[in-house]
Homo-oligomer: A and B are copies of this chain.
């Protein structure tokens, strides 16, 4: 079966988003500080249609984390558009050609028809829970990985349910002080650090989740 992976940037004090998240500030006050390392890389810039950027250890990680993924799963809040029944004009934060280039299964309580974007990204809306979303994502991914794209709540749910196989954390040396924590309500998973890449900006640690 496809491995289920998740890669997130996390502050040294454990937050994956800052406080006061809103439609104007989707990752909260200061939350962008967690992503500066990626935004500075040539890999991220290429993935998002920009030129330039650094070609360094961080760039290699930013390239690697988007490779070999056959399908994504994301939480409703990460897809955006607010709570409740869908405003069908909302098509995500990423414009006409999102950087996923694969099926993306969005966890939601509100049904919606699939949304086909440019570049191979199709958003599919799953209303019957995380296991169903994973089953559909695995079917779509074939022999490639399924990646939990975020946010914190989706990652927590898959980790707590014992369905996550790999957690790749980009530990950013900032202290946000408040916001949305990643490792809450996830039980006591057995994690093994299997790969560490260090850079002046961030420490990338890949953990295998050992299933009992």
Contact = CB atoms under 8 A, between A and B. Distances in A.
Contacts of A2: none
B200 A175 contact: no
A165 interface: no
B200 A174 contact: no
A188 to B, nearest CB: 6
Contacts of A169: 12
Given A14-B14, A183-B12, A198 B196 contact: yes
Contacts of A59: none
B203 A203 contact: yes
A184 interface: yes
B12 A13 contact: no
B187 A193 contact: no
A68 interface: no
- For this complex, into which size category does the number of interface residues on chain A fall? 20 to 34
A173 B193 contact: yes
Q: Is the interface of A mostly helix, strand, loop or mixed?
A: loop
Contact of A207 (B13, B173, B191, B199): B173
A205 interface: yes
B207 A205 contact: no
A191 B173 contact: yes
A75 to B, nearest CB: 20
A202 interface: yes
A177 B189 CA distance: 11
Nearest to A207: B173
Nearest to A183: B13
Contact of A173 (B192, B198, B199): B192
Nearest to A184: B13
10 contacts: A12-B191, A13-B14, A13-B181, A14-B183, A173-B192, A173-B193, A173-B207, A175-B186, A193-B202, A196-B196
